[in-house]
Chain A
Amino acid sequence: MSAATNYVAFILTALTALLLPPLLLATIRKTKARMQNRLGTRLFQPYYDLLKFLAKAETVSSTTSWVFRSTAVANLVTVILIAFLTPWLSYGPHFRDASDLFLIVYLFGLARFMTVLAALDAGSVFGGFGASREVTLALLIEPGVVLALASLACVAHTSSLGSIMSYSLVDNPVLYTQPIMWLLAGSGLFLASVAELSRMPVDDPTTHLELTMVHEAMILENSGRNLALTEYTHVLKMAVLLGLSGQCFLHSVADLWSANDLVRGAASIAIIFALTLVIALMESLIVKLQWRKVPEFISYAVGMSLLCFLIAVGVR
């Protein structure tokens, strides 16, 4: 890849990362509205919302400390970092050394750490149990995610996601022959992402009954600029996570391994929207699970990862 294409690719990635995420939210909302026979808001409403929040005055609880006040920015930075380290757009990241899967997982951990602390910081009832549920969810999800990615890493003999998902026959000839494994890893990651992104059936992002919420309960105290940053961070995270599982699905298609970058880029964006649609359909068709039934849902994600693990151990 020449330097010029490199720059172009970087700028494209940056633009996608900056602009695409709210659109995903819009897609979900629009689809859901359509499924409910409603017209729904404009497609670009999320962008307007973000701008509106930015312009609004900010109310901060007097109980909070610097932890709360720095969380939104810290999380955004973390997720941006993740977005540039992860090959979620089929585009190899700039720091291939740093696109390590464990680093990514722990960066997500960092974001979660800050979110949870910020939720506890205000001393509100809802923030507290939101935080409690968030860490519970995380510990259920994390082994599945790590196991799926580590299985791929095990076959690829490297823990760098950039190398694992590089569509390079030189880097990982064995992975090329294992579309099933990619599919399993992809679905495992996707199911985990659903939980991680606080979508149905694990969490209801639209409810206003605080007792049932996880993510919304945590960010209840955010307003104005903080809320804008938090919302944006959340959708960016959604893009990255769905992109990552989408990449796994794409790798199972043998043709794409030999396709050129543009095609792959387009396919990546397409699969993200496809997955978004799946989420929207799920939200329309499935009811929210009881809190205590959530482990059952997540066990499917872990199950996929375990199958992936079995293949990884077998094929080597």
Chain B
Amino acid sequence: MQDPGSPLAATLYLAANAFWIAGILIALPPRTGAGHKFFASLLATGSLFLIASLVLAWPTGFVWTAPQPIFLGMAPVELKLDALTTPFLLILALLSFAVAIFSPGYLDHLKDRVDTRLYWCCTTLFVFSMAQVITSANGLTFLVFWEMMSLSSVALVMAEPIRHRAQRAALIYLGATRFATALIAGSFIWLSSASSAAHSWRFSDWDMSVHSYVPALLLFLGLCIKAGIWPFHIWLPYAHPEAPAPVSALMSGVMVKVAIYAMLRFFFFLPVYSSVIAYTAIALGVISSVWGILFALMEHDLKRLLAYSTVENVGLIVSAIGLAMLGRISGQIYLTELALAAALLHCVNHGCFKGLLFLGAGSVDSGAHTRDLGYLGGLAKNMPWTMALFFIGCASIAALPPFNGFASKWLLYQSYLNLAFSSDHILQRSLGLIVIGIFSLVGALSLACFTKAFGIAFLGRPRSDQALKAKECSEGMKQAQLLLALCCLALSFSASATVLLFQPVLKLLLKPIYTAGPIFSIPMTTLFVIGCATTLLIYILFNSTRAHVREYNTWDCGYGPLPARAEETGTSFSHPIGIIFGTLLQYRTITQIGGRDRRHFPEHIAVEVYMFPALEAILYKPGIAAIQSLSGALVKMQTANIHIHLLYVFVAMIVLVCVGIYL
């Protein structure tokens, strides 16, 4: 069929996989002597090979089929690398490389809390299976590796097995991911059964538009669960933070992108012309972005905050994908391209800065032994490197120019603006503008959220002893963060070039209708240079007063130094916003004032904020309760009384005989 592509690239790709498989297998047997460095270098080498292969294969790609004895029952193991897979594999390679550098130091910090072999085995398996999911060319291969990806990440969520929270998180995650797999498998079965070549599992033989859109919708929902789209995001803020930080980075940075990749693959590569799915995607995407960032803002656990922010960012991406589908249906090519470019660029960007932030959170965790914002603060003094790199991550994710998050958000805004003025339909036009309004709200919220994350954790005075005694992370951890921070910066200044690089991807996705391709027109580098020059100028102009700087206490109204308890906490920082969005968040403040004369002389005051998990209570609890009560009723049937059991036999007999007679 297709051109086999560059054989060297394929070889390199297989070599990368070989390194990873070696890592998995060596970590598997008990009492392996190999240490962190060994596994890390296997993982890292594999990633480097993958990058080399991607570069060589760009943009034509290659196809590889597993040799004969390996056969998945109904289809062979088929891998196909093309332009669409490249950006996603690139994030994967980048993040897995960073994770490989980061992990040894991080694991030393966790010491015996994590089983090292389990960690390396599962992490390498996780990376390996994600690479295969992205490259798989048929449904069965996809499912096999998809499940491996999910299960290995579940195991990693449980990697710190002592903690009860981790178990709970893993269970919720397991349920969600299994449900996602079930939906996807159902849709694949449908598609395969309806494919032109009978029972073909190859993607290219499938036709999404044949009978009905049900399989596409199933697929979309399944992928939404995996991507953490509202209201299926419930699992994400549990699972992502509980995993060890490097794994959280991989999960947030790459795994949710795998679901995005699948959306692009199935809804564009195999075109779906369903406005239902398009509007659903836009609606769910927008809701998740607002929801995600609001809850992120309310969080006081650094990693949970980051996890919720993943919900927000994935929401942005999915809404862009929905917009692209809408554009394609109504024939607005430029709009489609713009939205797709926004989605792709944001995937890459988010991979970089979310990876960076999670690694940073891990570094904070290892340095200060807590990631609760209530106990952090003032880390700037002891962890200057982590702080500086985390700053870059925060600025990027808050989409501040010139950092890279801005480029993709700009493309997103542009695509909705384009919808607003190029659409013929008045509802679509208003949709465009409304979404712009909502996204600007999201932008402001994410700014608030990341000022909180950075400001509370790193600035001010330490809120606890642990924070006071925090230690800077090890060399490897620093380098891994530095690598990702540099990638963020590189992406910031090469945004225009990156968008141009996406052209083959867009060409592949929109084969017959592709035209010119969008560009990122803001001369960011020029502006940055001007900004730097101005800074230099100001610096020179006002440097003369430099000598008069003196250090003193923070302004204390003359009462003498206030304790760190007087400082703004994470919770109080977001309190006004919590009140404004109180109904959405179910935000309650509980104030308890005690003492004999508590009106005038309160002896102790306790203020607690509490968010009632309304979504869980409304959407999930009843279903789970129903299943559980059904299960309970069935268990009660098992009475242990033999007479009752015999009665079942007789009743079943009578029922079946009646069926036999009257049917």
Contact = CB atoms under 8 A, between A and B. Distances in A.
Interface string B364-399: 000000000000011011001001000100010011
Contact of A225 (B381, B387, B545, B550): B545
Given A102-B409, A131-B573, A62 B552 contact: yes
A58 interface: yes
Interface in B422-476: 422, 426, 429-430, 432-434, 436-438, 440-441, 443-445, 447-448, 450-452, 454-456, 458-461
B459 A120 contact: yes
Contacts of A150: 417, 420, 433, 436-437
B504 interface: no
Interface string A86-112: 000000000101101011011101101
A105 B521 CA distance: 16
A77 B538 contact: yes
Contacts of B413: 102, 159
Interface in B495-539: 521-523, 526-527, 530-531, 534-535, 538-539
A81 B538 CA distance: 13
A132 B550 contact: no
Given A128-B572, A313-B430, A117 B455 contact: yes
A128 B548 contact: no
Nearest to B577: A136
Nearest to B403: A110
A65 B437 contact: no
A180 interface: no
Scoring B455, B551, B552, B573 by chain A CB atoms within 10 A of each residue's CB, the highest score goes to B455
A244 to B, nearest CB: 16
B401 A110 contact: yes
A23 interface: no
Contact of A120 (B432, B448, B568, B575): B568
Interface string A105-136: 11101101100110011111111110111011
Given A135-B451, A147-B440, A129 B568 contact: yes
Contacts of A142: 440-441, 443-444
Contacts of B410: 100, 102-103
Contacts of B545: 54-55, 57-58, 224-225
B136 to A, nearest CB: 37
A128 B437 contact: no
B406 interface: yes
A267 interface: no
B332 interface: no
Contact of B417 (A55, A138, A154, A210): A154
A316 interface: yes
Q: Identify whether the interface residues of B are mostly helix, strand, loop, or mixed.
A: helix
Contact of A143 (B441, B450, B521, B534): B441
A313 B552 contact: no
Contacts of B577: 135-136, 139
A121 B460 contact: yes
B553 interface: yes
Contacts of B548: 56-58, 224
B414 A159 contact: yes
Chain A binding surface, main DSSP class: helix
B546 to A, nearest CB: 8
A78 interface: yes
B444 A139 contact: yes
A50 to B, nearest CB: 11
B593 interface: no
A141 B398 CA distance: 17
Nearest to B455: A120
A113 B451 contact: yes
Interface residues of B, number: 83
Interface in A128-181: 128-129, 131-133, 135-136, 138-143, 145-147, 150-151, 153-155, 157, 159
Given A58-B548, A62-B553, A132-B575, A113 B460 contact: no
B445 to A, nearest CB: 5
B438 A63 contact: no
Given A58-B548, A102-B409, A123 B433 contact: no
Instruction: Give the residue among B398, B460, B557, B562 with the most A Cβ atoms within 10 A.
Output: B460
A43 interface: no
A60 B551 contact: yes
A157 to B, nearest CB: 5
Nearest to A156: B421
The number of chain A residues touching the other chain, given as a range, is 35 or more
A125 B522 CA distance: 39
Contacts of A56: 548
Contacts of A292: 579
A59 interface: yes
B552 A109 contact: no
Residue among B422, B535, B545, B566 having the largest count of chain A Cβ atoms under 10 Å: B545
Interface string A42-64: 00000000000011111111110
A63 B391 CA distance: 18
A73 B554 contact: no
Contacts of B414: 102, 159
B519 to A, nearest CB: 10
A121 to B, nearest CB: 4
A63 B461 contact: yes
B564 interface: yes
B556 interface: yes
A305 B554 CA distance: 41
Nearest to B447: A109
Contacts of B642: none
B460 to A, nearest CB: 3
Given A60-B549, A62-B551, A150-B420, A120 B460 contact: yes
A78 B532 CA distance: 10
A61 B530 CA distance: 31
B576 interface: yes
B479 interface: no
Given A65-B380, A132-B572, A157 B421 contact: yes
A193 to B, nearest CB: 16
Nearest to A102: B413
Q: For A54, A136, A140, A153, which residue has the most chain B Cβ atoms within 10 angstroms?
A: A136
A80 B534 contact: yes
A314 B434 CA distance: 14
Contacts of A146: 436-437, 440
B443 A221 contact: no
A61 B421 contact: no
A207 to B, nearest CB: 15
A116 B420 CA distance: 33
A141 to B, nearest CB: 8
- Max chain B CB contacts within 10 Å: which of A113, A221, A305? A113
Given A81-B534, A103-B401, A123 B567 contact: yes
Given A81-B527, A121-B455, A154-B417, 16 more contacts: A103-B522, A106-B399, A109-B444, A110-B401, A113-B398, A123-B564, A125-B568, A128-B567, A128-B572, A129-B572, A132-B576, A135-B448, A135-B452, A136-B576, A136-B577, A309-B430
Interface of A: 54-63, 65, 67, 73-74, 76-78, 80-81, 95, 97-98, 100, 102-103, 105-107, 109-110, 112-113, 116-117, 120-129, 131-133, 135-136, 138-143, 145-147, 150-151, 153-155, 157, 159, 210, 220-221, 224-225, 229, 291-292, 295, 305, 309, 312-314, 316
Interface of B: 377-378, 380-381, 384, 387, 391, 395, 398-401, 406, 409-410, 413-414, 417, 420-422, 426, 429-430, 432-434, 436-438, 440-441, 443-445, 447-448, 450-452, 454-456, 458-461, 521-523, 526-527, 530-531, 534-535, 538-539, 542, 545, 548-557, 562, 564, 566-568, 572-577, 579-580
The 7 A-B residue pairs with the shortest CB-CB distance in the complex, in nearest-first order: A128-B568, A123-B460, A57-B548, A120-B455, A139-B444, A135-B448, A146-B440
